Amino acid sequence: MKRDWILSPKSRGFRTSAALKLEASIDTSSPNPDAPPPLGVLDPNIVSSPRLERKLVRTTGQQPIGSRRRRAALQNSKNIPFEQLPYQCFQEARKLLLADREEKLKQIEDQRRRIAKSKAIPAAQHGGEFVKNGRLISMQKYLEKLKILADINDPVIKKRFEDGEGDMNRPIYRFLADRQWRQQRRQILMQRINQMHIVPDVLPHLDPTAEVRLAFGRRNVQPGDFVDSLISETPPRLNVQVFDKGKRYVSIVVVDPDVPNVETDGFDSRCHFLAVNIPISPTSTSVALSGLPEGAQVLRPWLPPHAQKGSPYHRMATFIFEHGTKLSLETMEGISKRAQSGFKLRMFPRQFQLKPTGMHLFRTRWDDNMAGVMQRAGIEGANMEFRRQKPEKLPYKKKDGARYR
């Protein structure tokens, strides 16, 4: 049966706009203060996708806080303080940890009284000044160990350290940072040092105890990376993180041990930067090489890394030497004069009793921008090209064929 559909006057056709009643409706509900912010907001506490993390660093210059799993969990959780989480097992465990911490604090006070009492006793009763100083050093080390044991199991301490909010003036945060560095980043550094023969080519021995990070602008350079000559034309920024308390003075030396010497058919060393008497501490770690005053601290200004065409890659090694007191600038002037060519880093720590505590390494080689960098820096040799000589063939001597008959 055929049906004819007729549109009645009361019916209404399809409309693309909302009804007038819906258009005039206004949401009067109050916003939820505990609701998480939108996922697109660049908040370093909750950003969790790699794309938004890169956008956060690119636009604001801030790094994401904590692990990605933690930031993803905070997106849908209420803002409850960490120490007030409503878990019975967690709260009972915190009671035990607090009781253990109170016991450790009592031991710290007892150890401090022992140290003060030992200092008041004359050195003759200890068996001499040397024995007294050794005993005081041992007691002070045990005191620092007790300070670490008092906070090592505190979950709030661990949370603050993972979130990047730790105070490096406290021993526990220095201990955690040192342990984290030695687990991976120091091992990678030592691997690069051994693979590229920094030891023994530059120094006979090296045991880094301070973490050194190097960056050209926004680019963080990993140990052993190749850096374009246009990027390394300007001085870098160093971050020297020490893990023991107190302020100290350091010297920074950047050396290239792979300068070709045609006359001797070997390699020489060249100093690219030399600065002394730079104060650092566990909380003051940033050192901008371009911001150091020339003459007062900088004895050798930044020389852009360069390599001629055809030469092997050059190892640019940055060393941190620690010294307790300021070095005399008059004495260092002789080093700066000899740093122009043929600089030997081995004599640097021996002459001034300096201790190498940190090191970083990157590499440079000939690229398309190298000629322009050398021209702007007034460095000769951009038109020079090294080529390998073919080995001479041994003179052919025809053997007597009668021996093979």
* Local confidence pLDDT in tens for the 405 residues of the chain: 444 444 444 444 444 444 433 333 334 444 454 454 554 568 888 888 888 888 888 888 788 887 787 788 777 767 777 777 777 888 888 899 999 999 999 999 999 999 999 999 888 888 888 999 999 999 999 999 999 999 999 988 988 898 888 899 999 999 999 999 999 999 999 999 999 999 999 999 999 999 999 999 889 999 999 999 999 999 999 999 999 999 999 999 999 999 998 888 889 999 999 998 999 999 999 999 999 998 788 988 999 999 999 999 999 999 999 987 887 767 667 666 666 656 788 877 887 788 999 999 999 999 999 999 999 999 988 888 888 878 777 777 766 666 665
Integer Cα distance of 47 and 74 in angstroms:
9
User: What strands, in cross-sheet order, belong to the sheet with 314-323?
Assistant: 225-226, 355-364, 314-323, 248-261, 266-280, 298-300
Integer Cα distance of 235 and 256 in angstroms:
15
**Three-state secondary structure call for residue 317:** strand
| DSSP for 386-402, written as a single string | --PPPPPPPPP-PPPGG
Helix ranges (H only) for 38-196 are 50-60, 68-74, 88-120, 123-126, 129-151, 155-162, 171-180, 186-195
Hey, what's the torsion of the CAs at 34, 40, 41, 44, to 10 degrees? Answer: 100
**Three-state secondary structure call for residue 54:** helix
* CA distances for 157 relative to 59, 65, 84, 170, 171, angstroms: 30, 15, 15, 11, 12
CB 190 within 8 A of CB 338: no
- What tokens were used for 11? 């019916």
pTM beyond 0.85: the answer is no
